[in-house]
Amino acid sequence: MGGPNLEVFKFSLNTVLPYKEQLFPPEQRLLQQLPTDQSSLREELARIKGERLARRLAKQEESDRRL
């Protein structure tokens, strides 16, 4: 009926599209101006680490609730 082209199309829809946000993040998640001095770089790294820690703790709390 559809042949191999249809199968490739279905594969791309089911597999590739969910990863689109990881490959091409939305602009509000991108850093528009890079830090120029060491103190602002450290502040930015601390902010990123804090966000990662908060996400990790939220996931851990959610998994604890399920158990």
DSSP states of 4-65 as a string?
HHHHHHHHIIIIIGGGHHHHS--GGGS-SS---SHHHHHHHHHHHHHHHHHHHHHHHHHHHH
In the chain, how many domains are there? 1
For residue range 24-45, what is the model confidence (pLDDT) as tens digits? Answer: 777 776 667 778 899 999 998 9
H/E run at residue 66: helix 38-66
Domain that holds residue 28: 4-66
Residue where the block lists tokens 């703790």: 57
Q: What is the mean pLDDT of the chain?
A: 84
> In whole angstroms, what is the distance from residue 67 CA to residue 65 CA?
5
Does the pTM surpass 0.85? The reply is no
